[in-house]
Amino acid sequence: MPTEYRTTFLERIERTPRAMSYRFARPEGFTFTAGQYMLLDLGGKLLHPLSLSSCPQETVFIEFTKRMTGSPYCARLESLAKGEAVSVKGPVGKFCYAPSGRTLVMIAGGIGITPIRSILADLAKGKEDTGTIILLYGNLNRDDITFREELENLKLPDYRLVHVLSDTTGMEKAAHKGFINAGIISTEVPLCKDAEYMVSGPPVMVEAIKKELASLEVAENRIRSDIFLGYN
């Protein structure tokens, strides 16, 4: 059973017009591995799994970043007052960085970036030799890119960000238009068959990416995934 902690709400930060970060005081004794998630209990049966978008080395707070949908859960999040107490349970999950010596390709769709942001921020703050990391990040448009500036300016030895957008209007940096597919992967990832993959996003997106990778003859044991179930 996940451990339960009491914490208090600190602040909310708008990341995009549709995505908001919520920060809570980091409970005493709480530890986690970048890429894990928690169950955030807002009372009244409003319990939802949310990936930690903060990283372990950010020690003052824990942060969850969520796409806001107008659901009862989102409405409760929006109503939180500074200092209000809530419960969190966890951490849970195995979608975590594991060095392999191979190129690591991280593929995120929309708010599926949250565990990947946690992992990348943790690696950027550490001293580990991370090798080559390529992030393929799919979104609707420029304004929909959560953590855009941070991801574009991340300081890692051999890191590259590739945007894939349905609408590329207003992009200062080059971006692929459309959806992440085998063609884009093979173009952006040298020796893509030999790389390791971490895929995070909605179920339909994750399954679609797995099919695209299969068409590139990427072995199943080279793919790890984190499926975001529901957006309520």
Q: Where are the domains of the chain?
A: 4-92, 104-227
The predicted pLDDT at position 231 comes to: 53
Record the tokens describing residue 35, joined without a space: 């890429």
What six digits make up the tokens of 4? 């339960």
Q: Is the pLDDT score of 183 beyond 90?
A: yes
Burial class of residue 14 (count of CB atoms within 10 Å of its CB; 0-12, 13-18, 19+) = exposed
The CATH number of the structural domain formed by 104-227 is 3.40.50.80
Tokens of 226: 């984190």
Q: State pLDDT tens for residues 71-112.
A: 999 999 999 999 999 999 999 999 999 999 999 999 999 999
Confidence check: pLDDT of 198 > 80: yes
In angstroms, the Cα distances linking 159 to 100, 151, 162 are 16, 10, 10
- Mean pLDDT for 137-158 is 96
Name the pTM for this structure: 0.96
With bands split at pLDDT 50, 70 and 90, how would you rate the model's confidence at 172?
confident
pLDDT score for 127: 74
Q: Name the β-bridge partners of 177.
A: 165
CATH number belonging to domain 4-92: 2.40.30.10
**Tally: H helices and E strands in the chain:** 5, 12
Give the pLDDT score at 4: 96
Tell me, what amino acid is at 194?
D
